[in-house]
Chain A
Amino acid sequence: MPERPIEEGLFVDDRAGRTRLIGGSCPACGRVHFPRAAHCPWCGARGVVERLLSPEGTLWGWTEVTAAPPGYEGPVPYHLGVVELPDGIRVVTRLVADAADELRFGAPMRAVTDAVAEDPDGTVVLSWAFTPTGGRP
């Protein structure tokens, strides 16, 4: 089945085939944000430039969503959490975990894609997500 990202401009596959979030870097304050915005959300400056974020980070928080929230048609339950990236930001993300005990504070995580919906023509709709690499915190 064909696939598409849920929204353009959120994530891409890099040349090494890794999922990378598309962030923005501020020319004024030097800080990074996601998703890339026209104005830096931290200082309001213009001229933000695109920056692919690190594909790896560490787990900062997680929970399990047990009932489908409004507007969501994907599988339930699913994990939602926050991953801290070396770029200096924490990103809200879906989590793909085989077992809940894989999710621990500081667990190494890498970016992947995750099917969250299907268009009427059968196209699979992908979100970004993070999954444990299996390494130790």
Chain B
Amino acid sequence: MTVVEVAGVGLHPFGRFDTTLTELGVTAVRAALDDAGIHGRDGFQAAFCGTAYGGVAAGHKVLAALGLTGGPIVDVEAGCASGAAALMLAASAIRAGQYDTVLVFGIEKMPKGIIRSSFFEPWRERAGLAATPAYFALRAQRLMRDSGVTREDLAAVVVKNRRHGVANPDAMFRREVRPEEVLASRVVCDPLHLWMLCSPNEGAAAVVLRRGPATRGAVRVEAAVLRSHLPGNVLGEATPLCGLVSDDVPAPSTLAADDAYEAAGLGPEDLDVVECQDTDAARELLAYEELRLCPPGRSAAMLRAGETALGGRLPVNPSGGLLSKGEPLGASALGQVVELVRQLQGQAGDRQVDRARVGLAHTVGRGANASVTILRR
């Protein structure tokens, strides 16, 4: 099969800024193209831009500001998985022989507060049934019941990721927190406290993909998968108003992970580092189970044993995760990919995972869309 390798990566830090959406994208794209040694519009044949709130032709505006238009530029929206969806399209186009080099980037400036989404009908908002954190909370409550997760475990996820984030200069929050501080923060929707929820914010990330034969030591894209939900789970990210009385509807994250493991010829036991969707603290633990990083019901045990902390068997979210970085929807998935590339290249500084060779990035959100990307060096 055609080798797809990462030729370069770039990032605009995640946070809140006075710069425009276009400027955020320019910073990340410029850095990725420089990293790839690309100068000028002949250096890539197509661009895919992940964004959910960017508006019409948002990606086009970024490349226009750099004088790099002329090729096809496609904006891609798939909720929290938008950037990963863009990456999937780019990798697929390269594998199909359509292009040799493709620019992938994600950009976002999120509205402040609880995110209003065109996803819900107006009457559903007016009835109070569009309270996004409430669905996170209901999912957390079921995880606590089904997997023995405690409130202290939820706080421990935040403590772990915030500790990791201290070493990430691109993160929004870079201060360690104590469990009692997390549990003392305001209850948003029981059992979730404010500090257990990631902050919507702003940022950009960019990745240049190139067709092999592989450069020695290059990071390769072994799998880039996007899946949507199967109907039936009342608490799935599709946030339906009803579900079936059945607990065996496979999660979209599991569908994507299984496809990705098969495409890569790898299993969860082969992973060295994971970046996963920690929209809220319970969502990270659920990801351990859905991605098969642990057996069903064992996510809390995996966390408590320190396996997913830096220095553990399988560090999860060494970047600090969304809990430290914040979540700019269109950029967050590619932010994970940039982190994994740096980890696999041994350039992650004080948050470096020892001897990291295989990494997995995961997002899941509105739609519901779930993505799993596996990289190997």
Measured CB to CB, the residues of A under 8 A from B are 6-7, 23, 31, 33-35, 41-42, 60-74, 78, 80-82, 84, 88-92, 94, 105, 116-117, 125, 127
Question: How many chain-B residues does the 8 Å CB contact rule pick out?
Answer: 39
CB-based contact A71/B130 at 8 Å: yes
Of chain A, the residue at the smallest CB distance from B140 is A63
Residues of B bordering A, CB below 8 Å: 113-116, 120-123, 125-134, 137-138, 141-142, 145, 186-191, 231-232, 234-235, 240-245
- Please give, as numbers and ranges, the residues of chain A lying within 8 Å of B145 by CB-CB distance: 105
Q: Which residues of B contact A116 (CB under 8 A)?
A: 126-128
Partner of A90, one of B187, B190, B242: B242
A89 to B115, CA, bound (A): 28
A69 neighbours in B (Cβ, 8 Å) = 114, 125, 128, 130-132, 134
B126, A73: Cβ atoms closer than 8 Å:
yes
Whole-angstrom distance between the alpha carbons of A91 and B115 in the complex?
23
Chain A interface mostly:
strand
Chain B residue at smallest Cβ distance from A117: B126
Contact A42 B232 (CB under 8 A): yes
- B128–A72 touching, CB < 8 Å: yes
User: What A residues does B243 contact at CB under 8 A?
Assistant: 89-90
Interchain residue pairs with CB less than 8 A apart (12): A7-B121, A7-B123, A34-B242, A62-B141, A64-B189, A72-B127, A74-B127, A80-B134, A80-B189, A92-B242, A94-B127, A116-B127
Contact, CB under 8 Å: A92 / B142 = no
**Complex-state Cα separation, A81 to B138, whole angstroms:** 7
User: A90 CA to B242 CA in the complex, in Å?
Assistant: 5
Query: Given A6-B127, A64-B190, A72-B130, are A92 and B122 also a contact pair (CB < 8 Å)?
Result: no
Task: A61 to B243: give the CA distance in the assembly, Å.
Answer: 13
**In the complex, A92→B124 CA distance in Å?**
11
Contact B245 A90 (CB under 8 A): yes
- Apart from A61-B138, A71-B122, A72-B130: 8 A-B pairs, beta carbons within 8 A: A6-B123, A61-B141, A64-B187, A64-B189, A69-B130, A70-B114, A74-B128, A92-B240
Are B190 and A63 neighbours in the complex by a CB distance under 8 Å?
Answer: yes
**Assembly CA distance A35 to B141 (angstroms):** 25
Q: How far is the CB of B155 from chain A (nearest CB, A)?
A: 17
